[in-house]
Amino acid sequence: MGKRGPHPVDPSYLLSVEDAWYRTFRDLRDWKTHGFISGPGERELWEELKKAHSAKQVQKICRRSKYWLNPHWKGGYFIGIALPQQASGFVTALKHKRCPRSDRPSSDDKRMRFLAKAMTAAVTGRSVRTVEDLLPEARSRVEQEFQCSCGHLKQEHCLTAHRTYCTKSTKNLGHCVFCMCTKYKYGGIRQARSG
């Protein structure tokens, strides 16, 4: 007999799904540019989504979107398909007791974070509480996966010429910003030793 309960979720998948939901909600409200994806905000649709009372309303709002919730637009493919399918989950998340309801701008950002977690839960078949518990662990695991053998993270090495320290000379590429490590080496996941 196999293990009971849901199958484990890959930490990087969990983080990327939560990040995709959050960025889409944020970009729906405000115009943003992410690399090659750029589009105007659709604030009126975000305001309507926050007040939706049924799955049909959410689906109707998604169909009206030209950008962020449109599956045929380059930036809205994943969410544009997932939100109409998970519309009832979105409405349930809006009614959740921990979903912020205030009209303050800071509450709007908190609402986006909560809805991103709730929609991640809906897509992965987990509860909101489980996703909230898994996300910090997933973040630390993903950071460990990109940890060099010197103990610093991959992003702390001059792998590109984006940092001021790194741009002084191309000979600095691969050097750790914090120690004398000269080349980025994948160190593997750090696991605690048992007993």
Q: In which band, very low, low, confident or very high, does the pLDDT at 182 lie, cut at 50, 70 and 90?
A: low
Q: How far apart are CA 50 and CA 190, in angstroms?
A: 41
Q: Are residues 150 and 124 in the same domain?
A: no
In the predicted structure, residue 192 carries a pLDDT above the cut 80: no
pLDDT at 28 (0 to 100): 84
C-alpha separations of 160 from 16, 44, 55, 151, 164 in Å: 23, 39, 45, 19, 11
Which pLDDT score, from 0 to 100, does residue 189 have? Answer: 45
Predicted confidence band at 167 (pLDDT cuts at 50, 70, 90)? very low
Q: What is the pLDDT of residues 119-164, one digit of tens each?
A: 999 988 888 998 998 888 887 776 666 555 565 555 555 544 444 4
Domain co-membership, 118 together with 132? yes
Cα separation of 91 and 21, whole Å?
15
Give how far Cα 97 sits from Cα of 94, 110, 128, Å. 8, 13, 12
For 98-112, the three-class secondary structure string (H helix, E strand, C coil) is: CCCCCCCHHHHHHHH
Overall size of the chain counted in residues: 195
3-state DSSP helix/strand/coil % of the chain, to nearest 5: 55, 5, 40
pLDDT digits (tens, 9 = 90+) for 49-106: 999 999 999 999 999 988 888 888 776 667 888 899 999 999 999 999 999 988 888 8
Q: Is residue 19 part of a domain?
A: yes
Q: Is residue 1 part of a domain?
A: no
Domain that holds residue 73: 11-143
Q: Which of 5, 7, 92 is nearest to 52 (CA)?
A: 92
Residues 65 and 134 in one domain: yes
Residue 79 lies in a domain: yes
pTM: 0.69
Residue 121 belongs to a domain: yes
Number of domains in the chain: 2
pLDDT in tens, 38-52: 667 788 999 999 999
Token representation of residue 8: 């484990």
Q: What is the pLDDT of residue 136?
A: 87
37 or 122: which carries more pLDDT confidence? 122
Placement of tokens 């196999």 in the chain: 2
